[in-house]
Each structure stands twice: as structure tokens, then as C-alpha cells.
Structure 1
């Protein structure tokens, strides 16, 4: 198979160019790669949090929600029982194993002290997510609407 090369001999006409310019294609693909690299971690790194609305009515629940509290020293309590950091994953796995009538684990109410660091709350939320407890509500004191 031979290739036809344009020659300068002739009537001054140029032969059509048979090459494909791939530079615009590469530019578009690199932009798409950057977009996917930026957005992919944002899609998988989130912890699902169901925050209650301020004017919502009380929900009818068959299962009593579990209250997890973290005091200003970082001590974790499940309902009123103190739990160490080593015991927390096992206790949360036991809570997740108890399914309600709807087949879902109990709702979790997470309370954290104002003086508490953000990292401790996120570690507890990570343990909740690892145990499969994704119905988490963060509780706050209602502020004065004045």
C-alpha cells in the first residue's frame, strides 16, 4: 500500500490533508480527567446525616432511638453508659444488629458538647458509619429566635 505525497509539480493545487489533529481531543480528555479526579472523592467520602427540621412534628417510631453523647472531655456515652474508645465499635455493631420492624437499625441521636473538638465527633461518626448505622441526627439546643 503506497502513500501519496503531495508534490510541488502540477497546477498549484494542494492535496487534501489526511492527518487527524488529535490535540483538541487530548485537551478535552485531560479536562474531563481533572473533573472526574476532583469530584470522585467528594462522592464517596460523605457520611449520611439526617438532621431534624426545626418545626417538624414528632415521628411515630416503634423503636426507641439510641442517644450517643460526647462530653467536653471526649468521653462517649451510649444512652447513660460510659463506653471506652476500644469498646465503641463492638457496642455499635450490636446496636446495628438489632433491626426494627421496618428492617432498619435504630435511629441514632448524636449529642456533642460545645467545647468538644471536631475530630472526636468525626471519629464517632466514622465508627457509626462503619457499623452500618447511617440514620444519624445531630441534636442541638434550640436558640432564642429573638
Structure 2
């Protein structure tokens, strides 16, 4: 096999391969792995963020009211259908509700408290929980509902038809 003077891979030519020791520093940063990792993290957080809401499964009643604007660090009090009461995710007996909520809130009695009650929970239980929160000194008590339902029974009730 004959070697040409113009052959780029010739062993002794000036255009031939350089030895490894003379290679200059690579001044470019490869951002492809960084972009790949960031896209994977974005997808993971988009999927996991909705799962980080309060952990007590409830069926909230629906109303026409719009969602409230975000408030910092609310305390969640949940009332299940069977009357069980939870502060955040810890079950609390009704008798110690005020004390436990005061312990969670500390000295900040203006911290918002969100009452989440199952739509099938007894009205009496929900009213007692809200009264207990009020007498414990909390001033920002909010009752959470799902949006999209009727705000009053007027639209849901069909007009009466006269009986013959």
C-alpha cells in the first residue's frame, strides 16, 4: 500500500494525527447531560406535586365559589364522614382539638385554618369543630369546598307540578 504525501493519516506527515500529549484543553461545556437531567426532574416534580396535598381522602361538597387566593402555610383540619377529626394528617379527639391546634400554630393565632369536611359528615360535627376553632382564638377559619356545584338549592330543585 502506497502512502501519499497528501494523506491525512500518514505516519510522518505534518497533517497526520497529533500525539495525545500535545492536545489542547477542551474549552466547550457539554450541556446535553444537564438538559437531560433537568427534563427528567421536571417530569418527576410535575407528576409528584399533585400527590403532596393533604392525605385524608374526603369527598368535598361542590359550590360555585371560586378558589381562594394562596395564603402562606395554612393548617388543615379535616372531618371525615364518620366524624373523625384530623389536624394535618394526625387524628385528634374532639376534646383536645383546641389544645393540639394551638400547639401546631404556636403563638400565631392569625394563621389561616382550612376546615375540610366530607360532604356526608354530620353538620353538627362540622359546626362544633368550627366553634371550637373560634373559641380557641383563631380568627382566619375557612371552610373548603370543591368548585363547580350549585351555590344554593334553588337551581337544583325542580319546580313542583300540581297533582290532579
TM-score by length of 2: 0.47
Aligned to 1:88: 97
**For residues 78-117 of structure 1, what are the structure 2 equivalents within 5 Å?**
78-99=87-108, 105-117=110-122
Aligned pair count reads 86
Larger Rg: 2
Contact kept? 2:112, 2:141, Cα under 8 Å:
yes
- Whether 1:139 and 2:144 are equivalent positions in the alignment is yes
Deviation at residue 132 of structure 1 after TM alignment:
0.7
Summarize the Cα distance change of 1:119–1:144 in structure 2 as closer, same or farther, 3 Å threshold: closer
Matches within 5 A, 1:15-26: none
State the TM-score, normalizing by the size of structure 1.
0.52
1:6 aligns with none
Query: Any residues of structure 2 matched to 1:5-20 within 5 Å, and which?
Result: none
Task: Name which of 125, 140, 153 aligns with 1:120.
Answer: 125
Q: Which of 72, 75, 82 matches 1:66?
A: 75
Q: Which residues of structure 1 form unaligned runs of 5+?
A: 1-52
